[in-house]
Amino acid sequence: MTKLTTKKMKIAVLTSGGDSAGMNAAVRAVVKMGILRGCETWVVREGYEGLVKGNTEAPAAQDYSTTQGNPINLPESLKDDTLVRNLRFGDGPLLRDGEGDTSDADHTLKGRYIIRVGWDDVRGWMGEGGTFIGTARSTTFRTVEGRLAAARNLIKEGIDALVVCGGDGSLTGADKFRSEWPEHVKTLRANGDIGDEEVEKYGHLKIVGLVGSIDNDMALTDMTIGAPTALHRICEAIDNINTTAASHSRAFVVEVMGRHCGWLALVAGISSGADFIFIPERPPSSDSWEEEMCATIKAHRNVGKRKTIVIVAEGAHDKNLNPVRADDIKKVLAEQLGLDTRVTTLGHVQRGGRPCAWDRILPTLQGVEAVEVLLTATPDTPSYVIGISENKVTRVPLMEAVLKTQEAAKAIGEKNFEKAMSLRDSEFGESLDAFMAISTLDKRLVAENQRLRIAIMHVGAAAGGMNAATRTAVRFCHLRGHTPLSIHNGFKGLLNDHITNPSWLGVDNWMTRGGSELGTNRVLPSADMGAIAAKFQTHNFDGLLIIGGFEAFSALLELEEARNSYPAFRIPMVHLPATISNNVPLTDYSLGSDTSLNALVDACDAIKQSASASRNRVFVVETQGGKCGYIAALGALATGAVLVYTPEVGISLDSLRNDVKFVKERYGLDVRGKSEGRLVLRNEKASDIYTTEIITKILKEE
């Protein structure tokens, strides 16, 4: 077992405000990292309300070395192991199964809101939505008396550090609680609730925040816990709506969450190919939103589009702050355009369900960082909120993030929409520009002598997002007056003159289609460089967009190197990375890697159910990825696998021997008769010798 101890600290974690997918993963990460760092870990039921109520009942005394399944005769190597000493404290199943308030007097959490938990108490939480420890908006905690009671309850349990997962309101409460803490300690001492020893020991409360919000509305972080899963739910719903809308040539108005932030509506609009969106930060600029919307949708219908999708954020309004509601939009579409219109309000469907891969990975990384922040916190350091910026986990002063978030809402209320847009991250504005470019038929033509013939092709293996990228490129070409040319079946298709001129409407449904509508293969231009150069000249290409993985990257390198010999290649050429392996240099993400990761997580969730039902069973799952271990490593993190093998690290006989020993020891620590199945992930190229079959046989033999 691994020990990564630092110093003794008691860390409690709570979830507050609206629930969001990924909160359980965040709690799990804090608990496990806290234990590895030598801390005691606790959870607070029902958010701040649980802090106020505290514990009025003591937990039933149990001998966890026997009744909970820990072997009495542990090997010497494990007797002082941090993980073993904090393996489980018995209340995990009650939290996970929702039996905390059961009337069973022998095993209940009634009267206990601050619960100590161990490593196995949070097992299986990663892939579950909502929050097992509960959340509530506490009016009592908003009072000084409520916060004083919360301070008393924390000191009573010896807790000196707190992780709060919630939105800006919850995090504001956390910072206020920390700033008042010294006064609360003085008051408790004056009232005789604590002694001088406690005053000395608990004079400072360490606090760190994790942002749990499906709206993705927190400033100074690119993504919040729960937002990716909410977006998934919306896209799944609109994908289903699209088919029935096209069948009946109907219009659908879809209302999504987002009171002060339009991120969900905006990104769902791009992802689903919506015709029009309403977001709080950028309402329609004309005096009549009705006329602006109808002009756009009428233009779409005039070119032959059979369906209409309008997405409206719940906080949408016109430029004078008059609410724009889904029923208002329906009435306009029906009366002014004569469209058969339906309204779908997604509501809490967006909050629920299993978290997607990113809503397991992000909370895990941030939960680990939260513990590190607490271990280094001093009375002079500010309270931090853990965010992510440009794919790196960050620490941001909590109140700075909260104030900027509230400033955006204030700017909207003052009709200062430009300021509101500036307070969102740069991707927000870029996303809005992109949506406008691909959803409008209004031409923004470049000068005639600047109009180009732009070829688009797919190279390498198919990946999710290839068709969406092609759709965007085609529509942007039409917007600017360029001529898009689709090359079917890669360079082989180019040699056979398989080239078409796609229309704006012809690619309308490509946004949600997987695979490659153009067709793709792994043939590189070096197969017949001279003939390919001749085809460039024949079709008079002025630019080339290659969408694909490492083969596409290699193809562009070959064309670049051949420019001296073939003048036809002296044109602008761009590679857009699209590969599930995510192995293209100089980019954090390739198109398709996210979809592949989600597919792997779905498969592993199903496999894990089977493994757990069979007890004592290990499944070795082989992933794609070639010589890049991205999918395997991130998949292992998202599914809670016990082992992962990647090409970057490789597999040796010694490492395999240690891994088998670890798995055997870990099973030996399970509750007797309740051993859960486990996953091992192996990249297909992790080792030429130790194949998936060999590893499976070794584990089976042992």
Q: What is the pLDDT of residues 606-661, one digit of tens each?
A: 998 887 777 678 999 999 999 999 999 999 999 999 999 999 999 999 999 999 99
Question: How sure is the predictor about 65, in pLDDT bands with cuts at 50, 70 and 90?
Answer: very low
The token duo for 136 is 């509530």
SS3 state at 324: coil
pLDDT digits (tens, 9 = 90+) for 575-611: 999 999 999 999 999 999 999 999 999 999 999 888 7
Q: List beta partners, residue 208.
A: 163, 384
Give the pLDDT of residue 100. 85
- Identify residue 455 by its one-letter amino acid code: A
Eight-class DSSP state of 226: T
What is the overall mean pLDDT for the chain? 93
Give the pLDDT of residue 534. 98
Residue 288: CB atoms within 10 Å: 12
Give the pLDDT of residue 63. 45
Q: Which of 517, 437, 444, 512 is nearest to 475 (CA)?
A: 437
Mean pLDDT is highest, among 76-90, 93-107, 450-464, for: 450-464
DSSP string, 237-260: HHHHHHHHHHHHT-EEEEEE--SS
Question: How sure is the predictor about 84, in pLDDT bands with cuts at 50, 70 and 90?
Answer: confident
Question: How sure is the predictor about 74, in pLDDT bands with cuts at 50, 70 and 90?
Answer: low
Residue 570 has pLDDT above 80, yes or no: yes
Give the pLDDT of residue 4. 53
Residue with the two structure tokens 């879809």 = 254
Pairing between strand 499-500 and 483-487? antiparallel
pLDDT digits (tens, 9 = 90+) for 476-496: 999 999 999 999 999 999 999
Residue 467 has pLDDT above 90, yes or no: yes
Residue 61 has pLDDT above 60, yes or no: no
Q: What is the mean pLDDT of residues 92-121?
A: 89
Give the pLDDT of residue 557. 97
Pairing between strand 276-278 and 453-459? unpaired
Give the pLDDT of residue 72. 45
Residue 542 bears catalytic tag: no
The helix-helix angle for 466-480 and 426-439 (nearest 10°) equals 70
Give the count of alpha carbons within 13 A of 540, CB side only: 5
pLDDT digits (tens, 9 = 90+) for 515-543: 999 999 999 999 999 999 999 999 999 99
pLDDT digits (tens, 9 = 90+) for 382-427: 999 999 999 999 999 999 999 999 999 999 999 999 999 999 988 9
Residue 197 has pLDDT above 60, yes or no: yes
Cα–Cα distance measured from residue 153 to residue 367, given in angstroms and rounded to the nearest whole number: 24
Give the pLDDT of residue 140. 95
Give the pLDDT of residue 69. 44
Give the pLDDT of residue 79. 58
Question: How sure is the predictor about 67, in pLDDT bands with cuts at 50, 70 and 90?
Answer: very low
Q: What is the mean pLDDT of residues 1-17?
A: 77
Give the pLDDT of residue 102. 82
Q: How far apart are the first and last CA of the chain?
A: 18
Q: What is the mean pLDDT of residues 156-179?
A: 96
Contact present, 518 and 489 (Cβ < 8 Å): yes
Q: What percent of the chain has pLDDT over 70?
A: 96
Give the pLDDT of residue 75. 62
Cα–Cα distance measured from residue 388 to residue 362, given in angstroms and rounded to the nearest whole number: 8
Question: How sure is the predictor about 33, in pLDDT bands with cuts at 50, 70 and 90?
Answer: very high
Residue 184 has pLDDT above 90, yes or no: yes
Contact present, 147 and 141 (Cβ < 8 Å): yes
Residue 14 has pLDDT above 60, yes or no: yes
Sheet holding 161-166, edge to edge: 114-116, 40-44, 10-15, 161-166, 206-211, 384-389, 392-397
Q: What is the mean pLDDT of residues 120-125?
A: 94
Tell me which of 168, 175, 215, 594 is the catalytic residue: 215
Cα separation values, 118 from 28, 65, 251, 433, 696, Å? 10, 13, 52, 48, 30
Q: What is the mean pLDDT of residues 55-77?
A: 57
Give the pLDDT of residue 64. 46
Contact present, 352 and 625 (Cβ < 8 Å): no
Give the pLDDT of residue 24. 98
SS3 state at 459: strand
Residue 506 has pLDDT above 60, yes or no: yes
